[in-house]
Amino acid sequence: MIVEPYVRNYLSEHYGDDAYRTLAGYEAKGGFAGLKKAVALAPEQVVELVKASGLRGRGGAGFATGLKWSFMPRTSDRMKVIVINGDESEPGSFKDRLIMERGPFAVLEGILIGAWAMGAQRSYIYVRGEYAEAIRALRSAVAELYKKKLLGKNILGKKGFEHDVVVHGGAGAYICGEETGLLESLEGKKGQPRKKPPFPAQHGAFGLPTTVNNIETFAHVPFIVERGVEWFKGRGTEKSPGTTLFGVSGHVERPGLFELPLGTPLREVIGHAGGVRGGRRLKGVMPGGLSMQILPPTELDVPMAEEFLSQRGTHLGTGGVMVMDESVCMVRVATVVSYFFRDESCGQCTQCREGTAWVHKLCQRIEQGRGTEADLALLTDVPKLMEGQTICAFADAAAWPIQGLLRHFRSDFEAHLSERKCPFPESFEL
């Protein structure tokens, strides 16, 4: 059980302290100074400040947070809504869980700053259903905020500044972590992403103007407002400022969370986790969750920020770093990955529904030593039919890891064809 990150920075500095989970403990560490600063500014100024900070969303796509906030209509005769994505369904990702469990007030303060900036009257925090402790922590924090009049009407004595927070436990599907799949699920419908337009800023949760941000994104906001844009831009890279909680898992000595500045070289991130287990050789790393393309050991010096990773054909994603050592059969990895995406596809779009299943069947056959050259050719072609053509990015997420595995580990696939069996006896079992 993870209780705190092994490497801390501003975000997780007090995660080891149980008192930080109470309002008094949070305020003792400077909590709500950011909100107080924010309400002294005009809402538009707060949006500009977040824009100037360069904060990028921490949910996977890395979209500029301030820009997203500016999409919310300034005036609206309908209630405006913030939805906070705590579904954290990306395999290899487990940072939001800790943030919710250990730092719920920073998230809520960030939400209140967003509410002030965007004029939103209600928030829905959508938390992965299995995260019972996170749901408990958030609910207890919300109850405390209501008691102390930091939620409800006239917050901080500001007339007209009202905000309500609903903590909603999800019912478990990968696709409910997709922005609009989440909105459908929140509304009690089957979790299926919505076509765009309309975009959530016009027609989001319950048809209301909505902004959806990730849990971690909001957790950074109070620090940015309180300590200033320059302070924030002083860590991380120019295009990706701030820290993130890298979750390192797989074949490392000490898997866990590490709060490091964005742009930290991948080698260093893995080093914090004690390096590859048992002194074995590294075979590959998925740098940002299951849906991102794998990197070979030759790319270990890549700075872990979107602008550098995208040059290498992959993405930062959620910062879930999955390390695989030399024992690993990459065809098995492809089989597991394709099984996951086949199982989790919502089934709306033709390419995703049919493509994910086809890719999985091809991987299975090659893995079992029954594959042919034609199968390998198809495994190259079918992901191309899926990529970039569907309602949401799920089909991309299903296609990319397969493409990455084929790009860097094609010899593993070819060995299965020629030897008619899996040549990696020590690999993990399916």
Q: Which residues bind other proteins (CB under 8 A)?
A: 173, 175, 190, 195-197, 342-351, 353-358, 361, 374-375, 378, 384-385, 388-391
**Could you tell me which of 234, 248, 272 has the C-alpha nearest to residue 10?**
234
Residue 162 or 354 having the CB closest to other proteins: 354
Q: Which is nearer to other proteins, 251 or 342 (CB)?
A: 342
Which tokens belong to 402?
Answer: 């397969």
Report the C-alpha gap between 42 and 383 in whole angstroms. 48
- Cβ 81 vs Cβ 228: under 8 Å: no
Least distance in angstroms from the C-beta of 372 to other proteins: 9
Kindly tell me which of 178 and 325 has the beta carbon lying closer to other proteins: 178
Q: How far is the CB of 382 from other proteins (least distance, A)?
A: 8
Other Cβ atoms closer than 10 A to 57: 18
Q: Is residue 167 helix, strand or coil?
A: strand
Rounded least distance, CB 195 to other proteins, Å: 4
Closest to other proteins by CB, 133 vs 343, is: 343
DSSP letters, 81-123, are: EEEEEE---STT--HHHHHHHH-HHHHHHHHHHHHHHHT--EE
Nearer to other proteins, 257 or 398 (CB): 398
Residue with Cβ nearer other proteins (235 or 361): 361
Q: How far is the CB of 172 from other proteins (least distance, A)?
A: 12
CB 258 within 8 A of CB 24: no
Q: Residue 150, SS3?
A: coil
DSSP code at position 234: T
Least Å distance between CB 346 and other proteins? Answer: 5
CA distance 255 to 262: 19
Q: How far is the CB of 418 from other proteins (least distance, A)?
A: 19
Q: Which is nearer to other proteins, 244 or 345 (CB)?
A: 345
For residue 405, the minimal CB distance to other proteins (Å) is 20
Name which of 260 and 349 has its Cβ closer to other proteins.
Answer: 349
Cβ at position 345, least distance to other proteins in Å: 4
Q: How far apart are CA 113 and CA 359, in angstroms?
A: 44
- Residue 312 DSSP code: G
Contact in structure between 190 and 184 (CB atoms under 8 Å): yes
Element (H, E) at 146: helix 132-147
Contact 84, 124 (CB under 8 A): yes
